[in-house]
Chain A
């Protein structure tokens, strides 16, 4: 690596286009949004900048606080389910025979490359009242019902448009994000620690809790962040799978910009989301700085 002073021309040549692009098409738009968040709505797309704090005041109205609280717990539950599923999966892939590893890994991450909208749409189609999940449940129900005399024919369940369907959708969409960092840390984990722990008489559970989990903490933290942050700002999944019953903060922001045309309030909500994201990242930084573990 050389100092930028040794080759100023090349340094500036390489850095200018990227710096320019991010500044003009990212920092400036965000600044516009930030200024709008202190404005007042005067027309459909017109905003007067009055430096009012009113929009942030509205954010803490009970109705929006409730939606934010719901976004938080729906994301937290989705992240937890992802973690509980992905941890054993990462282990299974790491300890699989070498010829199976790349195949299993590919199968796990391939859905991540398929369009988010298409995957959500696919899930929507199987969760419908006449979709395959209902058909499978109906088949089981009718089978059991038949054994008991067939008194209660199956009524299709409304699986969509509730918090559960949103959580299922978020897990479905973001699971690969959790598996990848976990796989990376479990793969690098020195297996002799596990052998030592088992040799010294610890049970599998004790080894998991006292040896494996602490050693793979950086991967867990990375995975939790990679799933929790996009879940918190999710808009598509709750819009398609949750409908009007499971609105998250992303949907409120969308409404402000696309139909309610209250940009200043939408801008304030967007910044609350950005601050929450930065808060989570700061927390992660604090955790990794303390544990000085392997960085993903």
Chain B
């Protein structure tokens, strides 16, 4: 049997990770998850325009994507929206996280459910609701010019991002030793000083991780942005969607590869920052 040849010591009944079929399944799944993305990245360096066969290495697609004003505008819009949304989401989410960690109050369970609503509601329902609302109050139809026309998208992104930030910040605060705060107060610090010099430094990894989460959520969002963007406020995913409907071209691959690189770097950073917390909690 192959499994016998594979293993040096006899396989224990609970050593599932050494079963050949499990290894194969794991490998097949990773192949299924990664090969389309690998093909996409590889073809962003392909010289063929038709994106079907590999012809040779080039960086030309990146130049084409960079020189496409629509694509570049959409990319800029995405980054501006992500930055603004991250800033406000981190602030509001941090406050809510702190509040939920700190206080007990009547109706807390209901309040938590209320704060989790944007996470739970189907994205498309939230998207069309915001679209109807923004058109109703005239935010999408009035011609305010760039960059003010990005406002509705930023508002929408904050609404679905900050509940996630509050969850991250709250789970970070659970590890806080309340005696530190008492010590600070004993030593004569007032409430603000205690907050600024004791709580905030402890919160920081949670805030940074929450901010990176908000950033990727905003950068990645397609559905809600699709319904809240106007002709002058197209984001990168929305632009790619309209291009993909017309066909598959290598400059989309190039632009997508850049976006993948940005999100992967942000994710790895976020994980690095969160890792010590988990270790400390043990």
Contact = CB atoms under 8 A, between A and B. Distances in A.
B122 A114 contact: no
Assign chain B's interface to a size class.
Answer: 35 or more
Contact of A236 (B16, B34, B132, B223): B223
Nearest to B32: A172
Chain A interface helix/strand/loop/mixed: helix
A170 interface: no
Given A15-B99, A18-B95, A118 B118 contact: no
Assign chain A's interface to a size class.
Answer: 35 or more
Contacts of B30: 107-108
Contact of A122 (B40, B121, B271): B40
Contacts of B39: 122, 125-126, 132
B91 to A, nearest CB: 7
A137 interface: no
A238 to B, nearest CB: 11
B33 A33 contact: no
Contacts of A3: 103-105
Contacts of A14: 95-96, 98-99, 102
| In the A-B complex, the 9 residue pairs with the closest CB atoms | A233-B122, A29-B133, A14-B99, A122-B36, A4-B105, A18-B96, A29-B129, A33-B129, A122-B40
Interface of B: 13-17, 19, 22-23, 25-26, 29-30, 32-37, 39-40, 43, 51-52, 91-93, 95-96, 98-99, 101-105, 114-115, 117-118, 120-126, 128-136, 155-156, 158-159, 162-163, 166, 191, 216, 219-220, 222-223, 227, 237, 240-241, 244-245, 248, 252, 256, 259-260, 263-264, 266-267, 271
27 contacts: A1-B102, A2-B103, A3-B103, A18-B92, A21-B92, A25-B159, A33-B128, A89-B29, A92-B22, A100-B17, A107-B34, A108-B33, A115-B219, A115-B259, A118-B37, A118-B256, A121-B248, A122-B37, A122-B39, A124-B248, A125-B36, A125-B51, A126-B35, A195-B13, A236-B222, A266-B128, A270-B128
Given A32-B132, A273-B125, 15 more contacts: A11-B99, A18-B166, A25-B133, A26-B129, A85-B29, A92-B19, A117-B244, A118-B240, A122-B39, A122-B256, A124-B244, A126-B39, A195-B14, A254-B124, A273-B122
